[in-house]
Each structure stands twice: as structure tokens, then as C-alpha cells.
Amino acid sequence: MMLSWKQLILLSFIGCLAGELLLQGPVFVKEPSNSIFPVGSEDKKITLNCEARGNPSPHYRWQLNGSDIDTSLDHRYKLNGGNLIVINPNRNWDTGSYQCFATNSLGTIVSREAKLQFAYLENFKSRMRSRVSVREGQGVVLLCGPPPHSGELSYAWVFNEYPSFVEEDSRRFVSQETGHLYIAKVEPSDVGNYTCVVTSTVTNARVLGSPTPLVLRSDGVMGEYEPKIELQFPETLPAAKGSTVKLECFALGNPVPQINWRRSDGMPFPTKIKLRKFNGVLEIPNFQQEDTGSYECIAENSRGKNVARGRLTYYAKPYWVQLLKDVETAVEDSLYWECRASGKPKPSYRWLKNGDALVLEERIQIENGALTIANLNVSDSGMFQCIAENKHGLIYSSAELKVLASAPDFSRNPMKKMIQVQVGSLVILDCKPSASPRALSFWKKGDTVVREQARISLLNDGGLKIMNVTKADAGIYTCIAENQFGKANGTTQLVVTEPTRIILAPSNMDVAVGESIILPCQVQHDPLLDIMFAWYFNGTLTDFKKDGSHFEKVGGSSSGDLMIRNIQLKHSGKYVCMVQTGVDSVSSAAELIVRALGRKAPTVTAQLYRMQSRLGHLSLWAGKMSEQYLRPLMEKHEQLLLWS
């Protein structure tokens, strides 16, 4: 789809404005979470959190079960920033799935779903329970039958009078799954009234059922019999990744059966597995895929045994392997956007744009969760969300797509005003204006278009590469960048200099304590370049202010000679002259050996006067000089007067 020139100018202006104001689509900082509200709570409101950052600042709206909440019409709902406050929550009206929408001028994003549930526990019906008659030695199950409720419950049983609770052991078991009381073998001491006590783990509310009388029959004692498993886990039980799984198993029998557990495949239990409540509960914390399989509960006594089997299967809510990242690209480009999640079963994917289901068309396709958009235009810009879901849950990943249309502009990435390089080196002149779509570039040197040749290459990113630079390459280079929205120029001056060379370097010397010498360091350098000398003694930069009593730097503009006065033994070591320009650096080193008095090195006495040589004006200090130093000076300077 081609845009009109008016649209393109407008979009170019918007692009510049966006750059200046750093516009940003909404990004969630806080999202609502699942909540359970206790019915009858002293709190008369519940807050669902939602906060997003963005520029401009986002505004918010909410949905309940897919329908918009109008806070202006329903005064039980209020917005505080992005947070939704539900006043006097009611389980008949407010139960369900909530989502927050955050919107600014760049688009809209949708929060994860947050379920609001109400925890309540009603009273038992007050009807009397029938008495249960059993023989001594017989097993029995007393049913609880909890009243209407929402939220997790815990169970206990009272024997005769509250708060005398039934103590669980190998003979008596209270199931936290069914709430029932199981007595493997009834004894005379068990006769009495049993009351089921149900507690909400959310609200701590507690209700008691009607008592169930347990009496012994008078027609004899029950003989021994093999175990009968009355409480067992399902044949197939799905377990979530990371959850704690509890399997219950209990049997009636005479004698009282023993309960044991094993895996059907014979594999030993890992150390994390715990047996609780006299082996009536097998607990598997942090359930993982390797914990899946068939488990067996074995109930055994002297009359026989029975086995209950069940299979644990593994499931995992979706979790992200690859999140979406913001994309900024140019009109007419193509987009490939991938989000990847894992889970069991394998997640499926769907996409939203600005909070609504993405409409597919010929150039907009989704395959295996990946979104492709061909021939992008500015109207494709917005906030996109990838949703990965399986039957156990869904997750959201959000990112912003900016499709830009703008003429080349060097203001964000200006070209260097000047580049200095040496003869013979390689140089790359950058030309990287911001432009959407990417600009095509060509170069001029002065008024002449630069053509590719053996030493000169035009790079794919718009740069210009020159190899084996010569003095003739110096000059003013202009990059002209152009796309369908306009063009712009950038200029760089290329300065080509000769390499710096040391023409008189320091040499190794052998001197006696008390002498004074000069270590020469004279260079030939390009006159366009500023030059700086530095001396290092045994790796440490010489501080001429601090060490001025012994060290002084002498010489002209192209000389960095080092004078050392009144040499001491501590001055033995390695001296390095470092010469640096704005383009290159060179160095030369010499070893200085200092001998104690009495171990005289070969020297001559020299009085050196200011003189004019063919190489320039030379100033030297008069003193006692080593012949090793004088010899190179004699070769360098013709007018040197020497006597002893």
C-alpha cells in the first residue's frame, strides 16, 4: 500500500515529534492478581491493582467477564489511578474474571486475567443424623457432608464434647479430601457421638455438624478379615508443575491394616517424598515431570492385603521461553515477530493489537505463534500482545511496533567534522543518518563524485572506506543520503599526515655517580600535528616538578631530550621516551647503568657551547659528559668543540 505525499509528510513530522518527546506505548508496572474476598469481612472494599508507564501517561478502563465496567454509572466501582476499587463486594454480582486496559496515543494493552472469588462457609442443616450401629472389630466410615462453601476447607472431628477432638493414628483417619472419619477397627472405647468440624482456611470460620451416634451391636464380635481400602486416590490425577501433591489411602480391616506405598515401576522414592499420618498420606513437594507415573497403596494385615493404584500425570501452565521485544522499523519493510512459550499440553497462540483480536489479511499472517506483516505501513503501528494458552492457564507478552516514515536526518548521528589519519593507513568515513526507510548514499570529494576503485569502497551501511591512504586523499568529503521522503548532506574533512619518526633515540649508557648526562629523543613529525613528549623511568611516568632536582626536559619543539643531573645509584634502570601526536605514537628505550665512585666508567670532560648545526639550533648543558653520549652527538652535529 503506497502512502500519499501528504500522509508521508505528516508521518515524518510525527516521527520527529516522537523522537523529541520520547513517546512510549503503555507498559505494565503492576497487574491485577487473583483474589479471594471473605464474605462477612470487616473490610468493605477490595482493590485490584493496575499501573502502567508510558508517554503520554496511560488512562485505564476495566472489564468484568468480558463486559466494560462503567464507573460513572455504577458507584460501587471506583478508579484510583489504574486501580479498581470494588465497594461492598457481592458474590452474586462481582465474582468473575477482571482485566485492566491501559491506553495512550500509541495504543492499548490488556492485563492478565485476575479472578475474584468469594470465600464463604454456610452452616450445616440442623437435621439430626441417624445413629450408626457396628459390631466390635468391624470397620466404619462416618460421613461429614460439608455445607455449601467456597474456598479451601480443613476437617476435624469432635468426640462427644467440644473441644475433645479425635486423635488420628493407624486405626483412625480424617480425610482432608472427603472430610469423612475412617475407623479401621471399632473398639468399645469408640462408642459415643461424633461431630464433623469444618473450617475455612481463608476466613477461619468454623461450623459444626449434627452429632452422629456410634453404637455397638449386641449380636457378637466381628471376626478377622482382610483389608478393604475405603479411601483411595483417583485412577488418574493431573498434578501441576511445582505443586505439592498429597495422596490419601486408608483401609478397614481386622487386625488393623498397615499402609505402605511404592511406585509401580519399582523405582525408589526420592528423598523429597514424605509419608505422613501413619502412612495414610504420601506427600510429593515441588512436583516435576520425573514424579509422574503409577503409584500403589498397599494395605496389609495377617488376613491378606489389598492394593489401590493410581497414575499421576504432569501438567504445566504456559511460561515464556521468548518474550516479545519492541520493534522500530521503516515503512515498506517486513516484520517477523516471534513469541515462544512452553507448557503441557503445548500452548496455542493468539495475538491482540491495541487490546482487540488481530485481524488477519493477506499481508498479516500468524503461523506457529509467529506474526509476519509484509509491506509495513504506519497504520500498522501500535501495541501488540501475544497470548499463549493451554487448558490450565494463559499468559501475555506485550511490545510496541513503531513504523517510521522520515527523510534522512544527521542531527542524531552527525558526521565527524575532521578525521586525521597517517599516510598508508586505512580509514572509514561513516555516514549514518536516521531515515525511514533506510537512505541510499553517495559521496563527493569537493565537487567530484567519488567512484569505487581498487583502494576506495562504498560500504553497505553508507560509509566510505579508503585503504593505503595518500596525501592526495586529503580534502572535504560530503555524504548525500536520500530516500523517497527527502535528502540530507553530511561533511567530513579528511586530514592526511606523515608518520612520526624518532631520528635521534636514547642509547644504553654506563656512567658514574655524580655525573650529568642528556638522553636524546628527537623526532621528525608532520607540522600539522601537535606533539607531546613523556619519559618513563622503570615503568613510572617522570614527574619533572617533583623530581626537578635531577630531571629536566630540554630541547626544541621537535626534541624531548632528558637531562639527568648529579646521577645517583637509584637512577639505574630503563628509560623510555614516549612521543605522542593526535594520530600516532612512537617510543624508544635505553638502559642506564650507574657505577659507584671508584669504579670509573670511561668518560671525557666536555664543555658544550650553543652552536648552529645543519639540523637546527641545539642547546646543551655544559658539564661532564659520557663519551657514549658524545659520540652520537659528534656524528649528528658538525660544530662540536671537545677538549679534556
Residues 493 and 505 in one domain: no
- Which of 286, 316, 346 marks a domain boundary? 316
Instruction: Measure the CA–CA gap between 534 and 552, rounded to whole angstroms.
Output: 11
Residues 481 and 505 in one domain: no
Q: Give the pLDDT confidence score for residue 599 in this predicted structure.
A: 56
Residues 527 and 608 in one domain: yes
Dihedral angle computed from the Cα positions of residues 66, 70, 74 and 75, in that order, rounded to the nearest 10 degrees: 120
Buried b (16+ CB within 10 A) or exposed e, 561-571: bbbbeebeeeb
Amino acid of residue 590: A
pLDDT bracket for residue 528 (50, 70, 90): confident
**Average pLDDT, stretch 474-478?**
97
Domain assignment present for 641: no
Q: Is the pLDDT of residue 626 over 90?
A: no
Q: For residue 164, which of 138, 187, 195 has the smallest C-alpha distance? A: 195
Instruction: Measure the CA–CA gap between 397 and 326, rounded to whole angstroms.
Output: 11
Q: Is the pLDDT of residue 618 over 90?
A: no
Q: Give the pLDDT confidence score for residue 264 in this predicted structure.
A: 97
Hey, what's the cell of 439? 537512505
Residues 247 and 305 in one domain: yes
Q: Give the pLDDT confidence score for residue 400 in this predicted structure.
A: 98
> Among 57-61, 112-116, 125-129, 506-510, which is the least confidently predicted range?
125-129
Q: Is the pLDDT of residue 8 over 70?
A: no
Which residue has 499402609 as its cell numbers? 259
Q: What is the residue-averaged pLDDT of the chain?
A: 90
**Average pLDDT, stretch 340-355?**
97
Instruction: Measure the CA–CA gap between 180 and 196, rounded to whole angstroms.
Output: 8
Residues 619 and 540 in one domain: yes
- Which of 72, 105, 120 marks a domain boundary? 120
Angle at alpha carbon of residue 333, lines to 331 and 336, rounded to 5° = 125
Task: Please say whether the beta carbons of 229 and 297 come within 8 A.
Answer: yes
What's the pLDDT tens digit per position in 480-495? 999 999 999 999 999 9
Instruction: Measure the CA–CA gap between 9 and 151, rounded to whole angstroms.
Output: 60
Residues 521 and 632 in one domain: yes
Total domains in the fold of the chain = 6
Q: Give the pLDDT confidence score for residue 41 in this predicted structure.
A: 87
Q: Is the pLDDT of residue 150 over 50?
A: yes
Task: Please say whether the beta carbons of 327 and 372 come within 8 A.
Answer: no
Residues 624 and 508 in one domain: yes
Q: Is the pLDDT of residue 177 over 80?
A: yes
Domain assignment present for 643: no
The strand pairing partners of 372, in sequence order, are 336, 365
- Whole-prediction pTM: 0.70
Distance of CA 394 to the CA centre of its chain: 21
Domain assignment present for 642: no
Instruction: Measure the CA–CA gap between 168 and 155, rounded to whole angstroms.
Output: 12
Higher pLDDT, 607 or 180: 180
Task: Please say whether the beta carbons of 138 and 191 come within 8 A.
Answer: no
Buried b (16+ CB within 10 A) or exposed e, 203-220: bebebebebbebebeeee
Domain assignment present for 66: yes
- How do strand 348-353 and strand 382-390 relate by DSSP bridges? antiparallel
pLDDT bracket for residue 21 (50, 70, 90): low
Phi/psi at 245 (nearest 5 deg)?
-100, 130
Domain assignment present for 130: yes
DSSP state of 188: G
Q: Give the pLDDT confidence score for residue 242 in this predicted structure.
A: 96
Domain assignment present for 208: yes
Residues 388 and 463 in one domain: no
Instruction: Give the strand order in the sheet containing 464-466.
Output: 427-429, 464-466, 456-458
Residues 292 and 347 in one domain: no
The strand pairing partners of 439, in sequence order, are none
Hey, what's the cell of 165? 477432638
Higher pLDDT, 42 or 49: 49
Burial of 2 (0-12, 13-18, 19+ CB in 10 A): exposed
Instruction: Measure the CA–CA gap between 644 and 634, rounded to whole angstroms.
Output: 15
Which residue has 483480536 as its cell numbers? 357
Higher pLDDT, 139 or 629: 139
Domain assignment present for 193: yes
Q: Give the pLDDT confidence score for residue 600 in this predicted structure.
A: 52
CA distances from 429 to 421, 433, 451, 453, 459 (A): 11, 13, 14, 16, 10
Burial of 631 (0-12, 13-18, 19+ CB in 10 A): exposed
Length of the chain: 644
What's the pLDDT tens digit per position in 85-133? 999 999 999 999 999 999 999 999 999 999 999 999 999 997 889 999 9
pLDDT bracket for residue 335 (50, 70, 90): very high
Residues 111 and 55 in one domain: yes
Residues 55 and 146 in one domain: no
Q: Give the pLDDT confidence score for residue 302 in this predicted structure.
A: 98
Domain assignment present for 644: no
**Average pLDDT, stretch 48-56?**
98
89: preceding bond cis by omega (within 30 degrees): no
Residues 516 and 616 in one domain: yes
Q: Is 322 helix (H, G, I), strand (E, B) or coil?
A: strand
> Among 20-24, 437-441, 445-449, 473-477, which is the least confidently predicted range?
20-24
- Which of 371, 404, 437 marks a domain boundary? 404
The HSE-up count of residue 72 (CA atoms within 13 Å, CB side) is 1
Q: By residue range, what is the domain housing residue 461? A: 407-497
Q: Is the pLDDT of residue 12 over 50?
A: no
Angle at alpha carbon of residue 18, lines to 12 and 23, rounded to 5° = 150
Q: Is 274 helix (H, G, I), strand (E, B) or coil?
A: strand
Contacts of residue 119, defined as CB under 8 A and 6 or more positions apart, other chains included, come to: 36, 37, 38, 39, 150, 151, 200, 202, 203
For residue 576, what is the domain's CATH number? 2.60.40.10
Q: Is the pLDDT of residue 355 over 70?
A: yes
